[in-house]
Structure formats: structure tokens, C-alpha cells
Amino acid sequence: MDETLFVFTNDDPGGQEPERFAELLDFLAAQEVPATFFVIPNAGGVPLDRKPEWLRLLERALAEGHDLQLHGYVHGPFEFGVPPGFMLDIMPERKKQWEHDPEPIVAEHQYALLREKLERGLEIFHRALGLEPTGFRSGCLATCANMYTALADLGFQWSSNQVVNPMGWRYINRDYEAGEPWQPGVPPHPFRHQSGLLEIPMLSEYTWYLEAQDVERHFQLAQRDFDRTRARQGVYVTLSHYYAMTGKWSAGLQVYARLFDHARAQGNVRFTTMSELMNDE
């Protein structure tokens, strides 16, 4: 069998609880697994370069071989588009807002407004870290056509905003009987978006605020997705959030320790980052 690529991605550094991010870095160092972190440039309206505790941690991440990419601007739920239905289902107030009064939301998705947010995020990213991100993930996976166009026009090479299997979000709502509906239009491998960007879909979110009794169920979901992706010779990209899988919620780390072990046991698996994946394309 061809080599299976495993990409661990993690969202929201630059936001809350930096000490929890340090815990994840310790875990990944012990596991010898690189990550791609999607960093919020202006979380809480405070630019990243004014957060010394975050700068120290992100510099450590870079030194340890991790990958840093852009994650929205301030991470609003409708910041770059409308989240997918399975995401709105876990945000009932936002879902109600979208269903009852969509026009003000859509008005914020004009090309010029989205491009300006991206430019501001890039400026902060460069000022804080000296980096030019080439990839993008939106907060809450919210997208629209103008977002993709603005990304392409600004020279981004890839996006990771689409989901193969929404079951991880169904699990967040404890809807364990929803089945396993892999999205027919989202393949488990990179594909060329009509904007010209490469879209790199993620499989699912497996570790959102778990307790000990959740580990087996969530590991089984992740293992099934890995095995199915491998059988299709796809690329296994996972989504996670550092603050939802560390500290009192470190059951999430147990899921990933088992998942990494399972992947290694299959043989011919390489843990990599999004940037390295793009170099292979």
C-alpha cells in the first residue's frame, strides 16, 4: 500500500488559555508528531504581537518543527461566510440568527470587506512572527465564494475549510445514532477548488471536551475514518482545539495517543504538516 499521510491540525492559538497550548506542545513532542496550527491574528481585538505569552509559545512551536497558518481575523462565527449546517447545529443561537435575519450577515461578506480582514491578519502575522502564511482556515469553517476569491487574489495557495465526515460534530450534540455520512462532494484528499486554490479537507473533530467515558467511542470514530481514508489512499487530516483536549479535558489526548499508535501499527504512515504536504503536491 502507498504511504498514508497523517496531518494533525489544531485551531485557535492566539486566543484563550495559552497554558493549555503549552500542554499540547509537550504532548506532541513526546509523540514526535508535527502539527499545523491555525493561529488567530487578532483574537479578542488584541493583535498577536501584543501577546508576549503567545509569541513565546508560537516561537517554541516553530523551533519544534510545527507549521503556523492563518485562522480568520478575530474568529467571529460569520466572519468569512456561513458555517456548514452541522456546525450551526451546535450553535443554536447563531443558527437562529442566520435563519431569521440573514441579510445583515450576507452584507458582511462583500469581497472588499473580506479582503481587508485578510490583509490585516497577514500584516499582524508578519509583524508578530515574520511569517507569510500560505494556507487559511476560517473560524467555525464559515466560507463563501468571495472568501475563496480574496484568498486566491492575495496569493494564498491552499485552504482547509471543508469536512469529509461531520460525525465528530454530531457527537458534540451526543447524536451518536446519526450514522457516518461522509460528504459525497468532499473527497478525503486535496482537490482543486474552482478559485484555483487547493482545498485540503479535514476528516472530523474528535476531541471536543471529552471525559474518560468518551474516549473509546471517539477513538473508534477516528480509527474508522483513518482506516477508510487509508483504504482510499487519501490524506488523513484531523481537526482539534488545544483548549478542548488538555487540562481537565485531557481525555482528548488519550484519544490521539491511541490514534497515533493505531496509525503507526499499520505501517507506511508519515506524520506531516500542511506545508510539507503542499511541497509533495
Q: What pLDDT is stored for residue 228 in this prediction?
A: 96
Kindly report, residue by residue over 217-226, the tens digit of the pLDDT.
999 999 999 9
Q: 160 near 135, Cβ under 8 Å?
A: yes
DSSP result, 173-227: TT-TTS-----TTS-SS-EE-TTSPEE--B--B--SS--GGGHHHHHHHHHHHHH
Please enumerate, as own/partner, the contacts of 21-27 that have beta carbons within 8 Å and a separation of 24 or more: 21/54, 21/57, 21/242, 21/243, 21/246, 22/57, 23/242, 23/246, 23/247, 23/250, 24/242, 24/245, 24/246, 24/253, 25/57, 25/60, 25/61, 25/64, 25/66, 27/246, 27/253, 27/256, 27/257
pLDDT score of 281: 67
Cell reading at 186? 468532499
Query: What phi and psi values does residue 77 have, to the nearest 5 degrees?
Result: -65, -30
83-137 pLDDT, tens digit each? 999 999 999 999 999 999 999 999 999 999 999 999 999 999 999 999 999 999 9
Q: How far is C-alpha 236 from the geometric centre of its chain's CA atoms?
A: 13
Between 214 and 280, where is the model more confident? Answer: 214
- Three-state secondary-structure class, residue 7: strand
d(CA 243, CA 21) in angstroms, rounded, equals 7
What tens digit of pLDDT does each residue of 28-83 get? 999 999 999 999 999 999 999 999 999 999 999 999 999 999 999 999 999 999 99
pLDDT of residue 179: 78
Q: How far apart are CA 36 and CA 119, in angstroms?
A: 21
Could you tell me the three cell numbers for 271? 506524520
Tell me how far apart the alpha carbons of residues 188 and 199 are, in angstroms, rounded to a whole number: 11
Q: What domains can you pick out in the chain, each with its CATH number?
A: 4-280 (3.20.20.370)
**What is the structure's pLDDT at 1?**
63
How many of the other CB atoms lie within 10 Å of CB of 99?
A: 9
d(CA 171, CA 148): 29
* pLDDT reported for residue 2: 85
pLDDT tens readout for residues 4-37: 999 999 999 999 999 999 999 999 999 999 999 9
Per-residue model confidence as pLDDT tens digits over 160-218? 999 999 999 999 999 998 877 899 999 999 999 999 999 999 999 999 999 999 999 99
Q: Are residues 124 and 47 in contact, defined by beta-carbon separation less than 8 angstroms?
A: yes
pLDDT for the residue numbered 93: 95
Q: What are phi and psi of 57, to 5 degrees?
A: -70, -40
Give the per-residue pLDDT at 181. Answer: 84
